Amino acid sequence: MEAMVPDVTPLDLAHVVAVLDMNGSVQVTLKEFTAMLDEGSKTASAVQDRTDGVQVVATLEDYLVQNEGMMRKYFKQVDPNKLGVLRHGDIAQLVRQIPGMDASESKFILSFLYLCGRRDGNLNFDTLLEAVRGFGLKRDEELAYEEVSAWKAEAARLAAELEQATVLRRVEVDLLKFQHSQQQQQQQQQRGRQGVQQEQQAELGSQRVQDQLVGAGGGRGGSGGSSSGASGARDIGYGRGKSSAGSRERNSTAENVAQELAERSGAAAAAVAQVGVSGAAGVQEPALQQEPADQGGGAAVMQEPALQQEPAEQGGGAAAPLRDASGDALAHESVKQGCGGAAEQGGVGMEVGGSKHGGDVTEPRQQQQQLQQQQEVQQRLQQ
């Protein structure tokens, strides 16, 4: 050993000798030497890893505790100095004497004491008992360290997963916010397009109404001077966009106006007939005064020239018909006249007949009355 390992220590030599000579014969065979080489490294690894030999060390601890008094005496007896300190070889001899412990278990105990004891190999009873008890405590500490290490690794893994989940959640929240903002923008754009469409539709509707009003005003302007009340009512657009109830109400008003005009026409015809009777009796009709203007805005009636009575014919009989200053005869007859001049309404109007001389001259007074009646009809229709 000294030739092969120059730096070998006395403890190293004592341990090798103790392991090789487990039977205490102070002789080493080739078989024991070969077995020591094969088992030495395995035993040392088991002691360092604390994976095996726990039960063996526990057995040694129980034996030392149960036989503490005897073991203390043994330490003093074996120690040459009577101090109770044993060398590594003496410890090997003590271990071989423990009941129920075989050679492999004894080698494990010697290897344990060799690795964890003093480097000089000298141990007393207290040091030996402390080393044996420390084997289990060391194992517990190592197990606890391993468990703590495993817990730390698991905690680190969970922290990494949590951090990753947090990042993913943050990305998800950002994505949801982006989608929400996109939806809001789309809704605002859609509302804007709808507003533009509504404005365009409103402008089109307003343009149509203006066109209809312009067309209705043009129709009234084109036919107001020459058409009667019925044509003016049609151009104004009684039926356009109005309800049927409003149309019926206006038609009823027009019929009332037509009836009133018919009554006035009848009164005018009766007046003309009365004038004819007065002429036949030889009474001259007094001159007509100018009538005041109608309150509704109608034109004033012009003063009619005085009527002259022709002398009666020599043959006798009735007096000649009345004539105006130009010599034309007056005549009257009933005619059918509608609202504003339409014959279908059944109103009675005045018409000028031809004179004796063949001239077709309209009587001024009747013409003024007709104009006044037409103006009243148009005013009522407009109202």
Diameter of the chain by CA atoms? 208
Nearest CA to 342 out of 239, 276, 257, 247 is that of 257
What is the distance between the alpha carbons of residues 98 and 186, in angstroms, rounded to a whole number?
92
What is the distance between the alpha carbons of residues 129 and 58, in angstroms, rounded to a whole number?
11
Identify the pLDDT of residue 254: 57
For the beta carbon of residue 162, count every other beta carbon within 10 angstroms. 10
The mean pLDDT of the chain is 67
3-class DSSP assignment, residue 348: strand
Identify the pLDDT of residue 225: 46
Nearest CA to 322 out of 379, 288, 274 is that of 274
Identify the pLDDT of residue 257: 60
What is the distance between the alpha carbons of residues 44 and 34, in angstroms, rounded to a whole number?
16
Beta-bridged to residue 349, according to DSSP, are: 335
Identify the pLDDT of residue 269: 57
Identify the pLDDT of residue 261: 65
Using a pLDDT cut of 70, give the percent of the chain over it: 54
- Looking at per-residue pLDDT, the higher value among 73 and 286 belongs to 73
Q: Nearest 5°: phi and psi at 337?
A: -140, 130
Identify the pLDDT of residue 298: 43
Residue-wise pLDDT for 183-232, tens only, equals 999 999 988 888 888 988 888 888 888 888 887 765 555 544 444 444 44
- Looking at per-residue pLDDT, the higher value among 279 and 150 belongs to 150
Sign of CA dihedral 125, 130, 133, 136: negative
Judge whether residue 163 has pLDDT over 70: yes
Identify the pLDDT of residue 108: 79
CB of 218 closer than 8 Å to CB of 363: no
274-292 as b/e: b if 16+ CB within 10 A: ebbebbeeeeebeeeeeee
Identify the pLDDT of residue 138: 53
Identify the pLDDT of residue 56: 77
Identify the pLDDT of residue 113: 77
Residue-wise pLDDT for 75-119, tens only, equals 888 888 777 887 877 878 888 778 877 777 777 777 777 776 555
Q: Which of 27-31, 111-115, 142-146, 198-202 is least confident?
A: 142-146
Identify the pLDDT of residue 252: 62
Identify the pLDDT of residue 383: 81
243-267 as b/e: b if 16+ CB within 10 A: eeeeeeebeeebeebbeebbebbee
Q: How far is CA 380 from CA 107, 374, 376, in A?
A: 140, 10, 6
The alpha-helical segments, DSSP class H, found in the chain are 10-20, 30-49, 54-66, 68-78, 88-96, 103-116, 125-223, 229-236, 244-280, 364-382
Judge whether residue 159 has pLDDT over 70: yes
Residue-wise pLDDT for 263-287, tens only, equals 766 665 565 455 444 444 444 444 4
Task: Give the pair of three-digit tokens for residue 144.
Answer: 């606890």
Query: What's the full length of the chain, in residues?
Result: 383
Residue 6's pLDDT band, with cuts at 50, 70 and 90, is confident
Residue-wise pLDDT for 342-379, tens only, equals 334 344 344 434 444 444 445 678 888 888 888 888 88
3-class DSSP assignment, residue 28: coil
Residue-wise pLDDT for 317-337, tens only, equals 444 444 444 444 443 443 344
Contacts of the segment 350-359: beta carbons below 8 A, 24+ positions apart: 350/265, 350/268, 350/269, 350/272, 353/329, 355/327, 355/328, 355/329, 356/328, 356/329, 357/327, 357/328, 359/328
Judge whether residue 382 has pLDDT over 60: yes
Judge whether residue 241 has pLDDT over 70: no
What is the distance between the alpha carbons of residues 221 and 236, in angstroms, rounded to a whole number?
10
